[in-house]
Structure 1
Amino acid sequence: MRNFGIILAHTYKNRLMSKAFLISTAITLIFMMFIINMDRIFMMFEEDAESRGVEVALVEESGEWFLPLSEQLEPHSDRIQLIETSLNEEEALEAVSDGEYGAALVMQESNDGLPRATFYSDSLAQQFTPMQIQNALQHIKETQVTQELGLSSEALAEIYSPISFETSTVSDSARSERELNQARSFVYVLLFVIYFSVLIFGNMIATEIATEKSSRVMEILVSSASPVAQMFGKIVGIGLLALTQYGLIFLVAVGSSVVSQDEVEGGFTMIQTLLGESIPLDLIGYAVLFFLLGYLLYATLAATLGSLVSRIEDVNQVIGPMNLLVIVAFFIAMFGINAPESSFITITSFIPFFSPMIMFLRVGMLTIPLWEFLLSVGILVATIGILAIIGSRIFKGGVLLYGKSSAFKDIKRAIQMTKKE
């Protein structure tokens, strides 16, 4: 146990202080702060655009469109300034080219008496101004047609009002629509967490073992600690590293959200959605359980495979099939979010290499029988135990294999070396 603690602490400390971990964590935290404060950032751009505004020269012959269009654009008068001119179309376009106006709106009347317009600007990148003008003209058109048909504004509002439509369930244990939407968001985020954790930290475990083999440190460790202590010391050490990184991300996310809540209305919405009081505690428990079991499963496999290579360059080759399993499981889960009750999702939730993601998807989205949950977890735990037993034997012999790796052919050699001892 003492050797296990030493290996765990050594692995955790070395990786915690490595440049790669510090840089990746810093980038992740900056990205998280950007996502949380996205509303504030966009608001800054909007405020900058509002301070400049856009002068739009109106070109029309009848003179009847300026007043109703100005009234419709009144809420956006700080960003769109409609100017009535006596210019013709050609003169207005030249004025826009010279920078005298930001844009020009040429109004004409169609054969049926309805407005028709063309918006000219020096760049098609402008989106806000033409969109608001189009919406204003659409409202003017609807008002004009309504009056011609003899319809009141109340009748028009009743026509466009949405139909009352609700969904419900006859099952008392089924999740409500609100709970289901929150569970879907929570499951979606956790699937990404499991996916990236396995890919990043699983590869980190295999690389850690290959690095020690290449420096011949492994020969010293083999003589001073059991293979199980070595393997799980690295697995738990890297696992604590992952929890450290996720803990920092969580603290930054909550801190940024609190600041956003103080300055921007609704800035706390995302964190409340994911971690609010309405998220059932059992769903959080399932998330922790399947995250830990999924990590132990793939980390044990990664440590076993990493012991078969003696060069860091060979790590990606031997880890490739494991990464493929993770990717397949992830995509099945992503498609399964929209069809969690399908037979394919049900069957794959019992396959141990898929169940950390897919069974978590099912328990998060559905109310499943207890025996299905227990069976899936039991198969998963048994698979981890079998991998640990076989992996420790392969690990013990694999760490002594040097030279060019032949991938899975080395498994037999590693087991044979363990039997000779």
Structure 2
Amino acid sequence: MNNFFLILVHSYLNKIKAKSFIITTLIVAAGIFLLVNLQDIIESFSGDEQDTVAVVDESGELYDQFELQLSSLNEELELEKSNENEKSLEESVEEGDYSGYLILSKDENGLPQGVYKAESIAESAIANDLQAALQGMKSAMAAENLELSPDELASLSSPVSFEREALVEGAKSEEELNQARGIVYILLFFIYFSVIVYANMIAMDVATEKSSRVMEILISSVSPVKQMFAKIIGIGLVGLTQLSVLIAIGYFALSSKGDSEMGGILEFFGFSDIPAGIIVYAVVFFLLGYFLFATLAALLGSLVSRIEDVQQMIMPMTFLIMIGFFIAVFGLGNPEAGFVTAASYIPFFTPMVMFLRVGMLNIAAWEPILGIVILLLSILFLGWFGARVYRGGVLMYGKSNSYKDIKKAIELTKKK
């Protein structure tokens, strides 16, 4: 048992001290600060520049009403009436005097229409505001032609009242579903990337030790099974350490924005009033998903003796994780779909898909419990089978890129 903890601590400390771990953590931390302060950074680049649009009113009647309509939508966008020809306006736009210019005219029905010209149509914010203002003005003029009162016009343009109510007692409301969707989406990414990164790390670690012949020294003093599970737990602790650091950094970055802005960001993603049960299930399915794929990664990593072969060997495992993630993402829009329910009981998809169903639906308590039991049994079976393969696989050298080597590894295990 002492040897087990020695390898566990060794695996943990080696990864924590590695330059790749430190650099990756710093890069992700910088990314978190960048995302939290993205709006401020964008505004700092834009400075105090004022967007100005030149308006050519060919009808001579539309400018004042258009300016009034636009001010109700965007007070920061400045209009400037112009009588210059288009060539002069194009030169002004090229020189940066205007963001673009708008030509207003009337159609055959006497209603307003416009053509907006700018150096590029990639910037859609200004054009969208101009179009919205023109649409509002057109609706008002059309209503006036039809002799509709402002109240009648407002009644026509107001959205229809439409509500959805579930017949099943205790079902989540539309507001609760929207909140749950944001929470589940963020946590699904968290589970997906964590599992795929740290499971790959285990496979690479095993292959690296084999390629450097360190494995030959280790197996003379510690059983391969102890090595496998020590690595799985050690790298799992590395993952928890890194995630804890990043969560703390994220909280600090949000706190620096002030309580009101922090509350707004948390509310936007649905974390302002997150149920404790969702957090518990997220942790449970994250840990079980990690141990499932980490055991499989250790098994596959033990079959290769060259680092170059690792990615090819674990590619099917990566695809399994990706399929589970895509099913869960689809389920965000339709969590009650039959194949989503069925996939939630397939061990390799359960960590993400069952968590999705728990977060989005009020399912019976036995369903997530059954999913957890299936995962535990799968981990136990994969651990037993993986230990047999690992024990023989660590002794295999040479080029290995076939799953037929699993049989060879088991045969080597029987001979020991």
| Structure 1 length-normalised TM | 0.89
Alignment pair present for 1:376 and 2:371: yes
CA separation of 1:261 and 1:158: change in aligned 2, threshold 3 A:
farther
Q: Distance in 2 between matches of 1:183 and 1:102?
A: 41
Letter in 2 for 1:135: A
Give the 5 Å matches for 1:107-126.
Answer: 107-126=104-123
Corresponding position of 1:30: 30
Task: Flag the 1:42–1:101 CA change in 2: closer, same or farther, 3 A.
Answer: closer
How many Å apart are 1:286 and its aligned residue?
1.0
The yes-or-no answer on 1:356 pairing with 2:354 is no
Residue 312 of structure 1 is matched in structure 2 by 307
Deviation digits for residues 102-121 of structure 1 (CA, Å, limit 9, x no counterpart) = 54333333332223333334
Partner residue in 1 for 2:295: 300
Unaligned runs of 5+ in 2: none
Q: What amino acid sits opposite 1:281 in the alignment? A: A
Alignment partner, residue 225 of structure 1: 222
Distance 1:295-1:68 versus aligned 2 partners, 3 A rule? same
| Counterpart amino acid of residue 66 in structure 1 | Y
Q: What is the count of residue pairs matched by the alignment?
A: 415
Q: CA deviation at 1:190?
A: 2.1
Letter in 1 for 2:368: F
Which position in structure 1 is the counterpart of 2:335?
A: 340
Counterparts of 1:206 and 1:337 in 2: how far apart (Å)? 31
Contact 1:258 1:268 in 2 (8 A): no
For normalisation by structure 2, the TM-score amounts to 0.90
Q: Distance in 2 between matches of 1:288 and 1:373?
A: 13
Deviates more, 1:118-127 or 1:332-341: 118-127
Give 2:326's aligned residue. 331
Shift of 1:155: 1.5
Contact conserved, 2:195 with 2:286, CA < 8 A, in 1?
no
Q: Map Cα deviations across residues 143-202 of structure 1 (whole Å, 9 max, x no partner).
A: 222222221112211221222222222333322323322222222222222222222111
> Which stretch of the first structure deviates more once superposed, 281-290 or 29-38?
29-38
2:334 and 2:97 map into 1 onto residues whose CA distance is 57
| Residue range with higher mean Cα deviation, 328-337 or 4-13 | 328-337
Which residue is 1:391 aligned to?
A: 386
Cα separation, 2, equivalents of 1:128 and 1:275: 27
- Partners of 1:83 and 1:406 lie apart in 2 by 71
Q: 2:105·2:114 contact (CA, 8 Å) conserved in 1?
A: yes
Give ranges in structure 1 of 5+ residues lacking alignment: none
Query: Following TM superposition, where does structure 1 have runs of at least 4 consecutive aligned residues deviating by more than 6 angstroms?
Result: none
Q: SS where residue 52 of structure 1 aligns?
A: coil
Note the C-alpha offset of 1:233: 0.9
Note the alpha carbon deviations across 1:25-72, whole angstroms, 9 max, x for none.
2222222222222333344455x2xx3324444434553333223333
Residue 84 of structure 1, CA deviation = 4.4
Query: How many Å separate the matches in 2 of 1:62 and 1:175?
Result: 54
Q: What is the CA RMSD across the aligned residues, in angstroms?
A: 2.5
Q: Equivalent residue of 1:404, what SS?
A: coil
Match of 2:11 in 1: 11
2: CA distance between counterparts of 1:223 and 1:261?
Answer: 57
Give, in angstroms, the shift of residue 89 of structure 1. 4.8
Q: 1:272 to 1:414 in 2, by over 3 A?
A: same
Deviations 1:268-304 (A, max 9, x none): 4343455745322112111111111110011011111
SS class of match (2:103)? strand
User: Does the Cα contact within 8 Å between 2:263 and 2:272 map onto a contact in 1?
Assistant: no
1:419 aligns with 2:398: no
Contact 1:348 1:354 in 2 (8 A): yes
Percent of aligned positions with the same letter in both sequences?
Answer: 46
